[in-house]
Amino acid sequence: MAEPRSTAKGTAAEAVALISNAARARTNGPSAPLRERLIEVGLRGCGLLSIFTTASIILVLAIETFAFFREVTLAQFLFDTQWTPLFVDKHFGIWPLVSGTVLTTGIAILVALPFGLLAAIYLSEFAGQGVRRLLKPALEMLAGIPTIVYGYFALVFMTPILQAVIPGLAGFNSLSAGMIMGIMVIPMISSLAEDALYAVPNSVREGAYALGATRLSTIFRVVVPAAVSGIAASVILAVSRAIGETMIVAIAAGQQPRLTLDPRVPVETMTAYIVQVSMGDTPTGTLEYRSIFVVGATLFVMTFTMNFVSQRLTRRYRSAV
């Protein structure tokens, strides 16, 4: 036991060196005990699991998709306007399912965008801190409600109300499902757009006020344009979410693939088709089984692209501001 006073400086210097070495060390070196290295390998394995998951998704989808395209030509898939893969008069055009998805998603965004954007503007520009702390989580709770509950709402409440208002509205239709889906994705737009608006520096606003602009013109001519990439990112993310939504459309939108833009008739979305066929538990290796993976692959490509674009836009507005 050395005298603390006389070797304090020495000990301190050693300690500093040790800490900086430890802090700098990224992984255990070859001299680290075996147990440490094993644990590190184990943890790395956990990290690699996410890569494994992505790879598995791509593999599972790709294998069945390629098998599908050995029997069906790509031209049939892309250019036919009917989807009747299981019937005598077989058609493999993806467009009826895509149109069902696009129709419901379009209606959803038509509902969610105005509400979400106005809500975001309110929370960012007008609401006080207390109100904001209350309303923002409340809106986010909307996104936390299970989609089966929304599906129930669509079928049991929305459709009868709409049928009273719109004569000739079929029981299964894309309008009802789309509107409920819109309510579900409002938080995606409101939260992310609000983040984008909030991130616009106050100096920009103050500059506009100094030039004599009213609050409204500041918002619409200065703040919103400044946040436009963040807002766009939120909308794209909402679209991606709506495209991937399953239960609301499976319960309320119908199971009839048809190429149409009429919101009053039964349609079928890509996701509903996947659920419909897998409920019947088709065995591996049949065209039926493969068709759900092809549709799934199409869905995956669409949502992946949108998520990617959305991330890029988010990064851009975050770095710009």
Per-residue burial over 110-147, b = 16 or more CB atoms within 10 Å of its CB, e = otherwise: ebbbebbbebbbebbbebeeeebeeebeebeeeeeeeb
Residue 168's alpha-carbon distances to 42, 164, 263, 266, 279, in angstroms, are 61, 9, 11, 12, 30
Number of residues that bind other proteins (CB under 8 A): 118
Of residues 18-37, which lie at the interface with other proteins (CB under 8 A)?
18-19, 22-23, 25-28, 32-33, 35-36
Decide if residue 73 touches other proteins (CB under 8 A). no
Decide if residue 103 touches other proteins (CB under 8 A). no
Decide if residue 245 touches other proteins (CB under 8 A). yes
Q: Which residues, 6 or more positions from 241, have their beta carbon under 8 angstroms from its beta carbon? A: 185, 188
Supply φ then ψ for residue 102, to 5 degrees. Answer: -65, -40
The distance of closest approach from Cβ of residue 204 to other proteins in the complex, given in angstroms and rounded to an integer, is 19
The distance of closest approach from Cβ of residue 13 to other proteins in the complex, given in angstroms and rounded to an integer, is 13
Decide if residue 46 touches other proteins (CB under 8 A). yes
Single out the residue of 1, 6, 30, 47 in contact with other proteins (rule: CB under 8 A).
47
Single out the residue of 13, 56, 201, 315 in contact with other proteins (rule: CB under 8 A).
56
Of residues 149-168, which lie at the interface with other proteins (CB under 8 A)?
149, 151-153, 155-157, 159, 163, 168
E strands, the chain, are 83-84, 91-92
**Under a CB-based contact definition with an 8 Å cutoff, are residues 318 and 234 in contact?**
no
Pick from 103, 101, 83, 100: nearest CA to 92: 83
Angle at which helices 95-121 and 228-243 cross, to 10° = 140
E strands, 35-188, are 83-84, 91-92
Single out the residue of 69, 106, 198, 304 in contact with other proteins (rule: CB under 8 A).
304
Which one of the spans 67-75, 201-209, 222-230, 288-296 is the region binding other proteins (CB under 8 A)? 288-296
The distance of closest approach from Cβ of residue 313 to other proteins in the complex, given in angstroms and rounded to an integer, is 14
Single out the residue of 48, 75, 78, 161 in contact with other proteins (rule: CB under 8 A).
48
Decide if residue 258 touches other proteins (CB under 8 A). yes
Which x/- pattern, by CB under 8 A, does the window 189-228 give for other proteins? -x-----------------------xxx------------
